[in-house]
Amino acid sequence: MIVNIKKENINLYDDNFIPKDYLINELKNNPYSKILFLIKNNEIIGYIYYSVIYERVEINQIEIKLEKRNHGYGNLLIKELLKREKKDITLEVNENNYPAIKLYEKNNFIKKAVRKNYYNDEDGLLYERKYIIKNFTNK
């Protein structure tokens, strides 16, 4: 089950990931922020936290519980985001984050730019997924 966390159902959240105070503050004060949680057997498996800024979406973070990684859950969350937000999407990822890069490229995100030393001595990669590509490839 994938649910959209809002102020009203924040109790679902169990503090495994981003600190709850930060989350509450984001949802209260940032009208652009959205968070989808993946829940299975009453357990939060992971979340995707993103911003919808007019005509585009920025993925701020996606995270799956350590012991649940590499089971397709990250892919489920990305697919749900694509279903809900029919817009161009951008994100920033560490050049050495192989699982994340695999997940994005598998979902038609394309590397657009390199931000030198964005993560101290490691580069950041800017990825983008054009909405038009989705229509084309998901037929």
Ligand X SMILES: CC(C)(COP(=O)(O)OP(=O)(O)OC[C@H]1O[C@@H](n2cnc3c(N)ncnc32)[C@H](O)[C@@H]1OP(=O)(O)O)[C@@H](O)C(=O)NCCC(=O)NCCS
CB of 36 to ligand X, least distance (A): 13
What would the DSSP string read from start to end of 96-119? Answer: T-HHHHHHHHHTT-EEEEEEEEEE
Q: Which stretch in 28-36, 79-87, 96-104, 114-122 sits in contact with ligand X by CB under 6 A? A: 96-104
Determine if 106 is a binding residue for ligand X (CB under 6 A). yes
Q: Which stretch in 23-31, 35-43, 82-90, 98-106 sits in contact with ligand X by CB under 6 A? A: 98-106
Compute how many residues bind ligand X; rule: CB under 6 A.
18
Taking CB under 6 A as the rule, which mask of x and - marks residues 56-95 in contact with ligand X? -----xxxx----xxxxxxx-----------------x--
CB of 8 to ligand X, least distance (A): 26
User: Out of 28, 83, 102, 112, which residue is the one contacting ligand X (CB under 6 A)?
Assistant: 102
| Contact in structure between 88 and 59 (CB atoms under 8 Å) | no
Long-range contacts of 40-46, Cβ-Cβ distance < 8 Å, separation of 24 or more: 40/1, 44/12, 44/13, 44/14, 44/16, 44/17, 45/73, 46/17, 46/73, 46/74, 46/77
Contact set with ligand X (CB under 6 A): 61-64, 69-75, 93, 97, 99-100, 102-103, 106
